[in-house]
Structure 1
């Protein structure tokens, strides 16, 4: 039976494509387009507003979604000036596709993978093995083939020897915020999100455990090749890396890139 929660990559690409077409139509000469991982939504909205205050002639247009989906849209010609992903593999793909300037690539933040449950749930797993219990029916996470947090979750589950058991209960989300929503609405027993995502809904979800990852959860960003606003794009990247930009990220729970482990 087809899982009604599953969101194929093709649908995600189409949705992002429509959004980016709208961005393309509305973009003006002084508008900087930043395509960023969904987990950066709150922090980058604040970052964009702060950058605009310091640069009155620039409007920052933000486009959020799954890192791989955004990268594929840039490959297909969607307008963007800065690309920020939630893992190194997505950025590696962007470099290999030659859609970003590798010389401008910088790590700017770190995060942690957490397992969350609905706020009122009596289920509080202390290990990933507990997700294999018969009483656990649905576990939300993102597709490892197209979303960084899905790759982090799969790696952790494989290391714990629980991938096959949990994968059989999977409810695939299009991006990390959708995974968060599934848990917040009580539609699943548990879900994998980033620590910063869990923190925005403390009244709806609770963190059961911080999950060790096989690779550090780090965020890189880079200038998009062919950007028509390269100077502004480099300025935005510099702002993100500046003490002021790092303070904005810290406010939303992100750690400095060098602290990832």
Structure 2
């Protein structure tokens, strides 16, 4: 681990030939990674970062099918584990770079008093945005928490399944659902259109890993980008967007 960190720090400052880099990142990283990519390009003249955002499971499937990706950033460890098991990413480059929290949010104008998961079973709550638990990490986290509380069947009956966390956020912001499961960082992205109801405890917490895709032909540039994400400048950007450090 110490050797890898030393290598990342060296690559962060070492001059490299300019190259386009494709980064596939979880939807909840949209604002933060756009800013990080801009800062990276500014720090490394001639470099260009192409960003691709979607649910972590969807991104992994794209990589499996041959999409040209250099860096994969997931919103959960489980999806990255699958990427490792499938030989899609380089295990030696895997790094945890951020933490998040799970929240239930409601539209700004909502008068519903939701104080915990049992509140979602109330008759007044009719539609709840939940990411697809089989491909969207936020949905998987939500299902696990609800199952632990014995509330999954009740909430599942009201669930409006979404393809990524940003779709859940959009549904809540437009008042198309009564509540939705999103990350703390997503709630922060629309403070004028949604409000936080309560935080959902997640066993083990929510951590974000990233790694170099094995099929990438730009390993050094990919490692340099990872080093930048974990640098003080990258960490500062992530913090301003609501993430905490691992």
Q: What is the TM-score with the length of structure 2 in the denominator?
A: 0.92
Matched, 1:241 2:227: no
**Secondary structure at the counterpart of residue 199 of structure 1:** helix
Quick one: which of 83, 90, 102 aligns to 1:101?
90
Match of 1:63 in 2: 52
Q: Does 2:177 align with 1:188?
A: yes
- Matched with 2:33 is 44
Structure 2 counterpart of 1:4 = none
Which blocks of at least 5 consecutive residues in structure 2 are unaligned? Answer: 1-17
Structure 2 CA distance for aligned equivalents of residues 226 and 155 of structure 1:
33
Distance 1:240 1:137 in 2: 40
- Among 198, 203, 206, the alignment partner of 1:214 is 203
For residue 75 of structure 2, the aligned residue among 83, 86, 103 is 86
Report runs of 4+ in structure 1 exceeding 6 Å deviation.
Answer: none
Residue 124 of structure 1: how far off its partner (Å): 2.6
Deviations 1:177-224 (A, max 9, x none): 000000000000000000000001111000000110123100000000
**Aligned CA-pair RMSD:** 0.9
SS in 1 for 2:195: strand
Alignment partners' CA distance in 1, 2:78 and 2:46: 34
CA distance, structure 2, for counterparts of residue 149 and residue 53 of structure 1: 32
Q: Is the 8 A contact 1:117 1:124 kept in 2?
A: no
Q: Which runs of 5+ in 1 are unaligned?
A: 1-28
Indicate conservation of the 8 Å contact 1:152/1:215, yes or no: no
Match of 1:119 among 102, 105, 108: 108
Aligned to 1:199: 188
